[in-house]
Amino acid sequence: MTSVSDHTYKLTYFNIEGVAEKIRLAFVLAGINFEDDRINSEDWAALKPTTKYGQLPVLTIDGVEYSQSDAMLRMAGRCGDLIPTDPLEEMRMNEAIGISDDLDRALAPGLYYAIRPTAYGMPEGYNNTDEGKDHIRRCRVDFVTNKLPNFLDFFVAILKSTPGTCIGTRSHFPRSHS
């Protein structure tokens, strides 16, 4: 790939943070100009079948479409010199990303039972039943009471163990979750 500024970038995603915010932030940190293309759910129905995996985000570079948010994050990091060159520092960076992914997984049941119960083997409309509502409430209480405090402790420990930025002596990928 030639210089970052020789290319055009369009990041297409929903108008939420979700899995794209980390890429938006990495682009900003990397100094890469990009079109922040935010679509609404009405437009998504028509767009979905045209995407490679039926999912967003899609990153379009010079008219070519790429998928998978972590791939985009690492590309932005590589272009913006945000990835530590030292392999051990890079491993620490990936460790932090890994624990962030674990947080996503811990959050997911309380989110997806509510917005797409079929993704978790429940019938359509489960989220509107008394049983479903109680299930969602219990997942969320469990997340906030038991899981989130552990993750916050992990992140505090990571931040305390590093000077200033996050890993090593340089900035690294930001992670952001809705």
Ligand X SMILES: N[C@@H](CCC(=O)N[C@@H](CS)C(=O)NCC(=O)O)C(=O)O
Residues forming contacts to ligand X in the complex (CB under 6 A) are: 18-19, 48, 54-57, 68-70
DSSP string, 114-171: HH-GGGGTPPTTGGGSHHHHHHHHHHHHHIIIIIHHHHHHHHHHHHHTSSSSSBTTB-
Q: How far is the CB of 86 from ligand X (least distance, A)?
A: 26
Q: How far is the CB of 72 from ligand X (least distance, A)?
A: 8
Q: How far is the CB of 35 from ligand X (least distance, A)?
A: 18
Distances (CA, A) of 31 to 67, 72, 166, 178: 21, 15, 18, 23
Nearer to ligand X, 69 or 127 (CB): 69
Q: How far is the CB of 119 from ligand X (least distance, A)?
A: 9
Nearer to ligand X, 68 or 176 (CB): 68
Nearer to ligand X, 74 or 172 (CB): 74
Spatial separation of the C-alpha atoms in residues 85 and 87, rounded to whole Å:
6
Nearer to ligand X, 55 or 150 (CB): 55
